[in-house]
Every structure is written in C-alpha cells, then in structure tokens.
Amino acid sequence: MTAPDLVLAGEFPAADHVRWQHLVERVLRRTDAVPEGYDRPVEDLLATKTYDGVLVKPLYTAADAVPATGYPGLAPFTRGAQPDGHVAAGWDVRQRHADPATTAKAVLADLEHGVTSLWLVVGDGGIPVADLGTVLADVYLDLAPVTLDAGPDYRAAATELLTLFADRGTAASAVVGNLGADPLGHQARTGEPADLAAVAALVADTAHYPNLRSIVVDGLPYHQAGGSDAQELGAALAAAVAYLRAITAAGIDVDTAVARLEFRIAATADQFLTTAKFRAARRLWSRVVEVVGAKPVGQRQHAVTSPAMLTARDPWVNMLRTTLAAFGAGVGGADAVTVLPFDSAIGLPDAFARRIARNTQAVLLEESRLAGVIDPAGGSWYVESLTDELAKAAWAWFTEIERAGGLPDALTSGLVADRLAATWAERERNLATRADAITGVSEFPNLAERAPVRAPAPPAPTGGLPVHRYAEAYEDLRDRSDRTLEATGARPRVFLATLGPVAAHTARATFAANLFQAGGIETPTGGVITSPEDAATRFTESGATVAVICGSEKSYAESAAAVVDALKAAGATKVLLAGKGHRESGVDGHVFTGCDAVAVLRDTLTTLGVPA
C-alpha cells in the first residue's frame, strides 16, 4: 500500500495580496488605526520612511521586484566584491585601539583570540607616533595588517610604520595594511582645509608597495553629525572622487589611484538598512570607477558599528545593537568589520569589553557561519528594492556636492553641514517623541543601574561637523538627576495618582513611569486611589511636588477635576494627566504617546528645582 502524497498546507486556501490586505485591514479597524473614509491601500498605513525619504513597505511582492544586479565579483559588485564572497576565511575582524597605556598588551590579546587586523588611532588623542614600534614589537605585520588613523599626523605615522617593515626586512610585495590618510575626513571634523596634494605625494612615494593602501575614505564624520545613510554614502563618494582627482593630477594612473582607497562606513542596528547600505555603496563606487575609466574593481569596505547609536546609560544593551550592526554589515558583504566595545560611550574600553567585541564576531563567523553564504540577501524583493532606492538617494546627494564644486568646497561653504543639521533636527524630534526608541534610555530605563567606570577617552576633535549620540538628550537629563542624588541623597520624584483598580490604571501608570524615569525621575505611586481625599493624602506622603493622574477614561470623567483640586490644595505645584483629553479638568499639561518627552522631562526637572 503506497502512502498518499503529502501536500503541505494543501487544506488551506491559496494566499494572495487582496486576501492579505483584507485581513490586515480588519485588524487595523479593530484598533481604530484606519481613519474614517480611508480609501487608499492598507499598506500605506503601515509604511514608514527612512531619513532619506525611502518608503519601507510592510509587504513586498513581485510587483516591487528589482532584479538582483549582476553576480558576486563582477561589476557593479552589488552582490559582493569577490566572486567567492568571504566563504573561505570570513571577513577581516578588525579591532580599534587608542589607549597608549594598554594597547601594546591589548593587541596581543586580540590577535591571540580571533582578531585578524588592527585599527590604531595614532597621534594627538591616541598612541604617540614614536610608540608605534613598541606597540607592534611582537606583532607579525604580514599576518595582522595595520590600518592607521593619524589625523593630520598621517605622514609621520606612515613613515614610522614603513620603517618597521623595512627594519624587519619585509619585501615590498608583502607590505599590507592602510596608511590611513584622510585629510577630508579631518576637514569634516575640524574645519581645517585639506591638503590633497600631500595625499597624492604619499600615494606616489608608496607606489612600489602593490598591496598597501594609502587612503581611508571615512564616512563616520557625516554619520556622527546626524546624517542619513544616503548622506553618508554620498559624502564619502564625493571624498573618494576628490582624492582620485588629486592623485591622477599628480601623474599617477587611475587604476593605481583606485586601488589605494578603502571606505569606512557606519553599520547600525537597523540590520536590513545596513545590509542594503553596503550593497548600495559598492554599486555607487562601481559607477564612479566606470566613469573615470579604471578597470572594474570592487570597493574595499570597512564596517564600523555606529558610535552614534551607543549609549552610556545601560551600556549592556550596546551588545545587542552592535551584534545587529555586525550581522547587517556581514550579510551586506563588508570586507572588514569593527565592533566597537559596549563601553565606548563611557570612556576607554577595558579588556572585558574588547573581549565581548571580538567574541561577537566570533559567534557570527564560527557558530552562525554568517560568511558561509554569498550575498544571502540577494534576490529579496525587500532588500533589492531598498538597495536600489538608497543608491539613487546617495547618488543624488553626491551629484549635488559635485555641482557645488566637490566635497572640499561643500564643506567650506556649509552645504554639507546645513544638510546634515536638517537631518539631525528631524532625527532629534523623533528621538524626543520616542518614535525612535532607545532601549534602556528613552524606553525601559533602569534608575538603579550601576554604570561601569572607565578612564576618560580623548575628546573628539572640534571646529567642524558636530558629533552626536542619539541618547545624548536623555543622558543629560539623567546626569541632572544624578547630581541631585549626590547632593541631597534623593532623586527628584513625581507622584503617580493612580485612580481606581489596578486593571484601570496600570497601562497609563506604566507609560508615565517609563517616561519620567527616562529623565532620572522616581515615580512613587498611590496604589488603588478611590477618592480625591485619598489622592491628596498619598501625594503628601510621597514627598513629591508634581503629580501625574493615571487612570481610565471613565475615572477621568468622574473624578479628574476633583482630584486636580485636591492635589493642588495638598501643595502640588503642577498636575499633569496621562492621556490627551479632559483638558477641562484643570490639569497643567498632558503626557501621551508621541508627546515631546525631552521637553516634558526638562520642564519637570526645572519645576522640581533641579539645576540644569
């Protein structure tokens, strides 16, 4: 007797787009998310836009399909710079070091436990140029390439590194790494004009090292200034073109010039956008290489987990953020990945944080086998569409910079700064309203956390583009609260007047507690409050001077006005209400989903007498 054929899901009706729309609309109508008279596709209600205006849909179908562009290792290199991806050995695991006191010991620990190359911050604010030999004394430079980051001291640092190779008798063909010259990145950070002729001279002087790169095209200054993904890619592309112009003007052939560049690009916790970003970056660079007449070659990419997304508060969550970022960059085909240690926003990372950073990549490479598939996102309707739209947005910004005279002029004129500032203002609004949530900071804060203590990191360069972190506004508020705790032994507090039974007030009380604790404000609650007099008594016992009424719409209608009067009679200097309505109750303001949380917290701390 033969077994019947097994038809998976054969008992269910075939799914189609119209059926999906119908089911989604039913759910949204139950939550009042569909406006009265709405007649557009239901997808529009769930779609979001990136800071580049790219529409991200909730569902992608064949109608949205953008064909996978080319093949891995072939122009336009969207699917990877190498035909075999990183299947054989994985990507390059690159660790950053900037502490002159610990680097010599730390680099050996890194190299013994999975790190395959080094990123050394040299010169002002980092390792002294003269100490490079000591730091690298026990490092096999032909096995562990070094990328320098020396700011204006790049020529002296390059000379020191090349002297080390020479002293060890290394053949020119075996010299690898990157000398890290990036005067345009330095101009972006400090406002000091870039000397592109000096970069061209460095390339000419090191032309006899066929496997040594000379220039890093750093996108991080534009990312850390609050810029979008396309703005970072477009500015980096403009910097690379400026370097190509200077190098070829010095008489160096374009193929040599192209081979001397490596791109440093930020990877964020938005894994799909990060994957699309690295795929789009290769496509953009391939087009530039084609236009300048060089032979087709893939872009060399160094991914760095975003410094802007790291938090000093609840820094342990940074491990999750950097894991997602490294995952996105690895899937996107980055050649080298640096996972910044989770305590980088606090100060100089310690040995434990560096260990976690390198182990993050070890897990992705060795346990998850993430490099075992070439371009795993290729062919995805979503990722291919996102790659295409991001590339177009970045190209539009790049060509605008070129029309303005190129990146040096665009930096000097303020074009780049103004455009990045506009994006940061939009991002800042979303952070303030918690539309862009920061776990552990703007959402689910922990007032009892014991933050790690680290030695201070060197200050960031100033004079050029600003350096932002997304959590900075909330962390400033938490600092105000901490200073009050140190001075008085108690944090500022806001009383939650929780009306009615637990089931009636829990949702809004939880929301209010979460909001105020994000500013370092304690939120004692009144438990089950059954009358205005009860509210006043428990408010007095709490020792607070500001109160927030939390309850149901029914309890608000029945007693909010009376509770407000009772609280003010008991000494409340301000009474707020959790929710948008009931303005006639006499409250001084409202807190609700989508309100400007930063403004509310600043005003509340000021009302409570907490110094700015």
* CATH for 143: 3.20.20.240
For residue range 343-391, what is the model confidence (pLDDT) as tens digits? 999 999 999 999 999 999 999 999 999 999 999 999 999 999 999 999 9
Q: What CA–CA distance (Å, rounded) separates 334 from 377?
A: 13
For residue range 188-200, what is the model confidence (pLDDT) as tens digits? 999 999 999 999 9
Q: Give domain status of residue 420, yes or no.
A: no
> Domain span at residue 557?
477-608
Q: What confidence tier does 64 reach under pLDDT thresholds 50, 70, 90? A: confident
Reduced to 3 states, what is the DSSP secondary structure of residue 313?
Answer: coil
For residue range 395-442, what is the model confidence (pLDDT) as tens digits? 999 999 999 999 999 999 999 999 999 999 999 999 999 999 999 999
Is the pLDDT confidence value at 504 over 70? yes
Q: What confidence tier does 581 reach under pLDDT thresholds 50, 70, 90? A: confident
Q: What CA–CA distance (Å, rounded) separates 225 from 63?
A: 36
Same domain as 344, residue 205: yes
CA torsion, points 603, 520, 436, 330, in degrees to nearest 10?
A: 150
Percent above pLDDT 70 for the chain = 99
Give the phi and the psi of residue 488 in degrees, each rounded to 5: -120, -15
- Read off the pLDDT of each residue in 75-99 and give the average, rounded to a whole number: 95
- Read off the pLDDT of each residue in 118-142 and give the average, rounded to a whole number: 94
Q: What confidence tier does 29 reach under pLDDT thresholds 50, 70, 90? A: confident
Q: Give domain status of residue 463, yes or no.
A: no
Q: Are 94 and 102 in contact (CB under 8 A)?
A: no
Same domain as 140, residue 279: yes
Q: Give domain status of residue 433, yes or no.
A: no
Cis peptide before 76 (omega within 30 of 0): yes
In this prediction, residue 559 carries a pLDDT of 95
CA distances (Å), origin 325, targets 217, 318, 357, 385, 468: 20, 10, 12, 20, 18
CA distances (Å), origin 433, targets 122, 438, 489, 525, 600: 39, 11, 30, 24, 10
Q: Give domain status of residue 556, yes or no.
A: yes
Q: Are 117 and 93 in contact (CB under 8 A)?
A: yes
Q: What CA–CA distance (Å, rounded) separates 518 from 139?
A: 45
Q: Give domain status of residue 464, yes or no.
A: no
* CATH for 523: 3.40.50.280
In this prediction, residue 321 carries a pLDDT of 98
Same domain as 158, residue 41: no
Percent above pLDDT 90 for the chain = 88
Q: What CA–CA distance (Å, rounded) separates 493 from 591?
A: 16
Same domain as 481, residue 343: no
21-44 as b/e, with b when 16 or more CB fall inside 10 Å? eeebbeeeeeeeebeeeeeeebbe
In this prediction, residue 569 carries a pLDDT of 97
Q: Find the range with the poorest average confidence among 283-287, 397-401, 561-565, 577-581.
A: 577-581
Same domain as 158, residue 298: yes
Please count the other Cβ atoms lying within 10 Å of the Cβ belonging to residue 8.
6
| Domain end position, chosen among 404, 432, 450 | 404
Please count the other Cβ atoms lying within 10 Å of the Cβ belonging to residue 124.
13
Give the phi and the psi of residue 453 in degrees, each rounded to 5: -105, 130
Q: Return the structure tokens found at 531.
A: 């009358």
For residue range 216-251, what is the model confidence (pLDDT) as tens digits? 999 999 999 999 999 999 999 999 999 999 999 999
Is the pLDDT confidence value at 4 over 70? no
- Read off the pLDDT of each residue in 76-85 and give the average, rounded to a whole number: 94
Q: What CA–CA distance (Å, rounded) separates 498 from 551?
A: 6
Amino acid identity at 448:
A
Same domain as 242, residue 378: yes
Give the phi and the psi of residue 140 in degrees, each rounded to 5: -80, 100
The pTM of the full predicted model, rounded to 2 decimals, is 0.95
Is the pLDDT confidence value at 325 over 60? yes
Report which of residues 555 and 584 the model is more confident about. Answer: 555
User: Token match 């006639």: residue?
Assistant: 584
Is the pLDDT confidence value at 70 over 60? yes
CA-based torsion, 386, 387, 388, 391: positive or negative = positive
Same domain as 176, residue 294: yes
CA 162 to chain centre: 34
In this prediction, residue 15 carries a pLDDT of 79
Q: Give domain status of residue 428, yes or no.
A: no
Q: Give domain status of residue 82, yes or no.
A: no
In this prediction, residue 249 carries a pLDDT of 97
Q: How deeply is 491 buried, as exposed, middle or buried, from its count of CB atoms within 10 A (0-12, 13-18, 19+)?
A: middle
Same domain as 174, residue 43: no
SS3 content of the chain, % helix, strand, coil (to 5): 45, 10, 40
Same domain as 41, residue 97: no
In this prediction, residue 33 carries a pLDDT of 82
Same domain as 156, residue 276: yes
Same domain as 490, residue 400: no
Q: Are 357 and 299 in contact (CB under 8 A)?
A: no
Where are the alpha helices (H) located in 433-531, listed in sequence order? 472-488, 502-517
For residue range 468-494, what is the model confidence (pLDDT) as tens digits? 999 999 999 999 999 999 999 999 999
Name the nearest CA neighbour of 464 among 409, 397, 406, 412: 412
In this prediction, residue 1 carries a pLDDT of 56
Same domain as 375, residue 226: yes
Q: Are 196 and 246 in contact (CB under 8 A)?
A: yes
| Domain end position, chosen among 404, 437, 464 | 404
Instruction: Tell me how many domains the chain contains.
Output: 3
Name the nearest CA neighbour of 104 among 134, 130, 141: 134
Is the pLDDT confidence value at 326 over 60? yes
